[in-house]
Amino acid sequence: MKSLTEYLFFHTPKRRELVNITQKIADLVSKSEVREGLCLVSAMHITAGIWVNDDESGLKQDFLELLDRLAPEGDYRHHQTGEDNGDAHLKRTLVGHQTTFPITEGRLDLGPWEQIFYAEFDGRRQKRVVVKIIGE
């Protein structure tokens, strides 16, 4: 069995941002030399997620607006700790914080429009994503 572990670092200028990381993940799959296996991509900070969808600007805005509608900014009990990012914790929960991708014949096996996004909901500080590849 082969494996590869890498960490991607993010420090987005805006509080909320969708960063397309598809090429980065594809490059790590190549680097791993795994031909058949699985690639886990997981946000390690609890106010960020991983979203797999089309890289279309209207859709990305629709997505962020959906999350704002379901988990709006506002007063949360969590803010009694001094934080102000309660909505970001909940948004990450609704999006999901990780995705596992198949690796087939040495390549990331994505659908025709699947793009991988790091979804930041409380940026402007350093965050991390773990990429774990296993297979052979």
* Closest of 8, 19, 25 to residue 103, by C-alpha: 25
Q: Which two tokens stand for residue 66?
A: 């959906």
To the nearest whole angstrom, how small is the minimum distance from the Cβ of residue 27 to a second copy? 18
Judged on CB neighbours under 10 Å (0-12, 13-18, 19+), 109 is middle
**Candidate list 8, 25, 86, 122; residue touching a second copy; CB under 8 A:** 86
Residue 117 binds to a second copy (criterion: CB under 8 A): no
CB of 32 to a second copy, least distance (A): 11
Of 62, 68, 73, 84, the one binding a second copy by CB under 8 A: 62
Q: How many C-beta neighbours within 10 Å does residue 43 have?
A: 25
Q: Is 13 in the site for a second copy (CB under 8 A)?
A: no
Distance of CA 16 to the CA centre of its chain: 12
Per CB under 8 A, does 126 bind a second copy?
A: no
Chain center to CA of 67: 15
What are the residues binding a second copy (CB under 8 A)?
A: 1, 3, 5, 36-38, 40, 42-46, 51-54, 56-59, 61-63, 66, 70-71, 76-81, 86, 89-90, 92-102, 104, 109-114, 128, 130, 132, 134-136
